[in-house]
Amino acid sequence: MVSDKRKTAEIVLEKIVGNFLKNHLETGDKLPSERELARLFGVSRNSVREALQILALKDIIEIKRGGGSYVKQSDAQLILDELFEKVVTAENHLIFEMLEVRRALEIEAVSLAAKRATGEDLNNIRKALEQMAVTIDETEIGVQADLHFHMYIVAASHNSILIHLAQTLIKQMEETIRTTRQNRFKDADRYEETFNEHKEIYLAIASGDDILAKSLMEEHITRVRKELSENSLPKFIA
């Protein structure tokens, strides 16, 4: 397993891409300083420095001594491909283990949510879904909206143990969602398909159809696992 420090650097790296390099900065533009990035992301300057060094090694940015960091190439798709390759190489087996945990937890949670969700629960899930609809060009915001969607479903189960388990595993859930989105959105056409999967789950919950909600969540997580196995991770895991 990679160290916590390494994980933090990877997350910072992905946030730099999502918040600055993808559709925001052009070749030659200057990135915020290490201090500004550390404050923005709530991490240490060492983590920011390590993330910038990774980007520099990949020839995505240029670090000028005493002069800051500058974009060398702003091809968002190339950047995301590079990042995804790095993530799955580091911890692919953990991604699959977490998907197995999510499958067990979320299939039961969504079934209960369809039976127990209050008006406030449905409003929270719907707002997260709406946020997902407008974040195709905002990588990190999209990850958070996706995470909130799933966490609100667990909350709507009104099962204190399931809620506690999900809260305990929230960082691991966030990483599987981030990796899944990086894999799926290599093809821009997949964004609408992914959004519709979530929309169908929401509608099943809102209509109180626990059987359909359970089936849709199982299909969603199974599809994610299959795609990761076929597209990016070693075949022996499948």
Q: Write down the mean pLDDT value for the chain.
A: 82
Give tens-digit pLDDT for 25-81: 777 888 899 999 989 888 888 888 888 887 887 777 888 888 888 887 665 545 555
Confidence grade of residue 6 (pLDDT, cut at 50, 70, 90):
low
Query: Which residue has better confidence, 24 or 184?
Result: 184
Q: What's the pTM?
A: 0.62
Average pLDDT over residues 170-186: 82
What the block records as the tokens of 73 is 């190439």
Partners of 70 in the β-ladder: 30, 62
Q: Is the pLDDT of residue 213 over 80?
A: yes
Question: Which residues, 6+ apart, have CB-to-CB distance to 105 below 8 Å?
Answer: 154, 162, 165, 166, 169
Q: What is the pLDDT of residues 82-100, one digit of tens each?
A: 555 554 444 566 788 888 9
Ranked by mean pLDDT, which of 68-77, 204-213, 223-232 comes out on top?
Answer: 204-213
Query: How sure is the predictor about 179, in pLDDT bands with cuts at 50, 70 and 90?
Result: confident
Cα-only R_g, the chain: 19
φ, ψ of residue 158 to 5 degrees: the values are 55, 35
For residue 109, give both structure tokens: 């949670």
Cα 85 to the center of its chain, rounded Å = 15
Average of pLDDT values for 179-206?
Answer: 86
Q: Say how far apart CA 59 and CA 46 lie, in whole Å.
A: 20
| Domains of the chain listed by start with CATH number | 4-74 (1.10.10.10), 92-237 (1.20.120.530)
179 close to 225: Cβ distance less than 8 angstroms: no
SS3 state at 215 = helix
Question: What pLDDT score was predicted for residue 109?
Answer: 98
